[in-house]
Chains A and B, each alone.
Chain A
Amino acid sequence: MAQAGPSARKRPLSPHLQIWRWGPGMLSSILHRVTGVGATVGIAVLLWWLAALVGGPASYATFTGWVWADLTALSWNGIDILWSLIRILLKIVLIGVSWAVIGHAVTGLRHFVLDIGAGYELKQNNLWATVSTVLGIVLTAAFWALLLLR
């Protein structure tokens, strides 16, 4: 019996995402993974930023021209439409990356609490899962408010 390779036999799999009822803990946990991957994209932006600084004022202007373009100065003629759309997309990516980093940090703090064995009681778990998810968004908004309104 069962001499076939591991892939030839259909072993039972644990049920995946779609079978569970959504709850705060599940949302927070999934967002932690999503924001972790998003924050990794942020490393690419960070390296581009550092390389642009090394390259001098012209390459730094190229970086900011792409990542933080002046939306009022975008051109909407011919192929420029594509570049303008990419510039808008990159602005969304940069804001998204900031949320990924801040949100991942906050849900990560929740994981530190869970790591020491605390916060598993249902009401507490739901409360802190909700707080960490909301706090990530609030802190991101606060960061951009401080940045843009100073």
Chain B
Amino acid sequence: MGNGTSIGRVRGLGASHSGSHHWLVIRYTAIGSLLLTVWFAVSLLLLPNFGYDAVHEWAKRPVPATALALFVLVNIWHARLGIQVVLEDYVHDEGNKFASILALNLVTFAAAAFGLICVIRLALGGA
């Protein structure tokens, strides 16, 4: 194995064995997102109005709150995987790529935690 050229550094290492996992999880989360997005769209259409009382009354009930929590999580998960692909395509510098995916991971977990805390507070009557 060479140690100078870029092809020489990777020759013989084989596949990373994680690319197809990423590909599959995008599809799994896409199906989850599709189901929950249809639910969300129908729910919005069935709301009597979009005033605070009507929306709050709906969102805090157990089934909508559960679906909202899943809706938040699956969309953030799917978006995180998709944005990673976009970053890998357009950010060519290795250092910047590392930094942007690091930032993506931080934002992903922060957004997921924030969304869950909001839904839980709605569901458990804290708000």
Contacts and interface: CB of A to CB of B under 8 A. Distances in A.
Interface of A: 2-3, 6-7, 33, 36-37, 39-40, 43-44, 46-47, 50-51, 53-57, 60-61, 64, 68, 101-102, 105, 108-109, 112, 115, 143, 146-147, 150
Contact of A47 (B5, B37, B118): B118
A3 B4 CA distance: 5
Interface string B1-35: 00011100000000000000000000100100110
B41 A143 contact: yes
Contact of A50 (B72, B76, B82): B72
A39 B79 contact: yes
Interface of B: 4-6, 27, 30, 33-34, 37, 41, 44-45, 50, 52-53, 55-56, 59, 68, 71-72, 75-76, 79, 82-83, 86, 93, 111, 114-115, 118-119, 121-122, 126-127
Q: Is the interface of A mostly helix, strand, loop or mixed?
A: helix
B72 A33 contact: no
26 contacts: A2-B5, A7-B93, A36-B79, A40-B79, A40-B82, A43-B75, A43-B79, A46-B72, A46-B75, A47-B115, A53-B52, A53-B55, A57-B52, A57-B53, A60-B55, A60-B56, A61-B52, A64-B50, A68-B50, A101-B37, A102-B41, A105-B33, A105-B34, A105-B37, A143-B41, A147-B44
A2 B126 CA distance: 64
A51 B55 CA distance: 13
A54 B127 contact: yes
Contacts of B71: 46
